């Protein structure tokens, strides 16, 4: 081991992994962390009341690697799990990895090098999206690569050039996740995830950090592997998602409210929000026949009557969802929603 890679001469990095019923993917995730070329790690696995054997896998991993620490808690949700990890973290830097995802071997080393070289508070890097199909096969869907190269100081976010840089990064789907980043722990010591939000909770976390004023740097490499599968939280009908969308979209719009972003950036931001809302309604429609119709009707009416309905309507024609969903949303009549959920 060279002097550059000795744990004693390099900053400790805490990697927080919330775990809930992820047995199928957990070994791959943990192995990607254990095999990092950067050795000075504190791997915190937070088991959130798993019932599929994930708890035992966490404990077994801890027995084989002294860098792994396990926290067991009752089923309190992903936000509470990440918060427990933050409470336990002791590293100079912190990263988040979801239990069905993984890191490229050099992810931590390159991120720390970038943070130290540029005195960064947060390093953002790209990610590969892989799709897992029903037959178990996996295909690579796309790569989200950072285009931004300049250092961004978010204390200047009300200046047009910085405002547009941040919003472009956001619209490129590289800003609003808590993963795919390295954080200086001293900058997030007072931040926590909102416990009762299960969709977009990481968006609120990141936006709150940016609003405090931090120094961002970037790596133009895809160092995170994001897995999409049928059990992902972003997919399928979930009754609480209507409330979550309203909360998260409100926070998102408030962040950009006084920022002089370009009309193109604003349209793209609104389009992303409209896609969130319309796809949530589409998923509710697909759940018809398996979920109580009254519950589904309440859900779609909640989303379609959101305080941000006018934002969604501005970009409705560009939303990548079927025509019947768009028509039902635009008219927003109970009789039409009953037909939609038939």
As given in the structure block, the two tokens for residue 118 are: 């540029």
pLDDT for position 308: 98
Q: Give tens-digit pLDDT for 154-166.
A: 999 999 999 999 9
Q: Give tens-digit pLDDT for 252-281.
A: 999 999 999 999 999 999 999 999 999 999
pLDDT for position 334: 95
**Does residue 135 surpass a pLDDT of 80?**
no
Q: Give tens-digit pLDDT for 64-75.
A: 999 999 999 998
Residue 230: band (very low, low, confident or very high) from pLDDT cuts 50, 70, 90: low
- HSE (CB half, 13 Å, CA atoms) of 155? 4
What string of DSSP letters covers 154-197?
GGGTTSHHHHHHHHHHHHTTSSSSSSSEEEEHHHHTT----TT-
Query: In whole angstroms, how large is the CA radius of gyration of the chain?
Result: 21
Average model confidence (pLDDT) for the chain?
92
| Range 104-127 average pLDDT | 97
Per the model's pLDDT, the better-predicted residue between 231 and 152 turns out to be: 152
What is the C-alpha end-to-end distance of the chain, expressed in Å? Answer: 65
Asked if residue 183 lies in contact with residue 94, where contact means CB atoms within 8 angstroms, the answer is yes
Per the model's pLDDT, the better-predicted residue between 189 and 250 turns out to be: 250
| Range 199-212 average pLDDT | 94
**Does residue 219 surpass a pLDDT of 90?**
yes
The rounded distance, in Å, linking the Cα atoms of 110 and 14 is 15
pLDDT for position 3: 39
| Range 46-53 average pLDDT | 94
As given in the structure block, the two tokens for residue 247 are: 């909360």
pLDDT for position 2: 39
H helical segments located in 172-240 = 185-188, 201-212
Q: Give tens-digit pLDDT for 277-330.
A: 999 999 999 999 899 999 999 999 999 999 999 999 999 999 999 999 999 999
| Range 44-64 average pLDDT | 95
**Does residue 194 surpass a pLDDT of 70?**
yes
Residue 232: band (very low, low, confident or very high) from pLDDT cuts 50, 70, 90: low
Asked if residue 249 lies in contact with residue 311, where contact means CB atoms within 8 angstroms, the answer is yes
B/e letters for 61-77, b = 16+ CB within 10 Å, e = fewer, are bbeeeebbbbbeeeeeb
């Amino acid at each position: 081991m060279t002097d550059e890679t000795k744990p004693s001469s390099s900053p400790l990095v805490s990697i927080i992994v919330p775990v809930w019923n992820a047995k199928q993917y957990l070994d791959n995730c943990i192995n990607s962390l254990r095999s990092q070329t950067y050795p000075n790690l504190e791997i915190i696995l937070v088991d959130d009341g798993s019932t599929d054997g994930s708890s035992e896998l966490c404990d077994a991993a801890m027995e084989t690697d002294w860098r792994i620490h396990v926290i067991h808690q009752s089923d309190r949700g992903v936000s509470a799990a990440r918060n427990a990890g933050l409470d336990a973290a002791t590293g100079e830097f912190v990263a988040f990895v979801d239990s069905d995802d993984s890191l490229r071997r050099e992810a931590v080393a390159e991120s720390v090098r970038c943070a130290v070289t540029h005195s960064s508070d947060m390093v953002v890097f790209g990610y590969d999206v892989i799709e897992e199909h029903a037959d178990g096969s996996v295909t690579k869907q796309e790569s989200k690569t950072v285009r931004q190269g300049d250092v961004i100081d978010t204390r200047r976010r009300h200046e047009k050039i910085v405002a547009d840089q941040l919003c472009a990064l956001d619209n490129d789907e590289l800003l609003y996740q808590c993963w795919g980043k390295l954080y200086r722990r001293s900058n997030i010591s007072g931040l926590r995830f909102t416990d009762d939000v299960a969709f977009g909770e990481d968006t609120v976390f990141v936006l709150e950090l940016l609003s405090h004023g931090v120094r961002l740097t970037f790596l133009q490499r895809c160092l995170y592997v994001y897995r999409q599968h049928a059990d992902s939280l972003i997919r399928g009908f979930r009754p609480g998602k209507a409330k979550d969308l309203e909360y998260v979209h409100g926070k998102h719009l408030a962040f950009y409210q006084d920022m002089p972003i370009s009309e193109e950036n604003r349209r793209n931001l609104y389009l992303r929000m409209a896609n969130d809302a319309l796809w949530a309604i589409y998923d509710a429609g697909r759940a018809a026949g398996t979920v109580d119709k009254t519950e589904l009707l309440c859900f779609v009416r909640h989303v379609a009557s959101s305080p941000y309905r006018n934002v969604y309507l501005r970009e409705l024609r560009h939303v990548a969802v079927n025509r019947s969903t768009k028509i039902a949303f635009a008219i927003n009549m109970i009789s039409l929603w009953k037909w939609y959920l038939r």
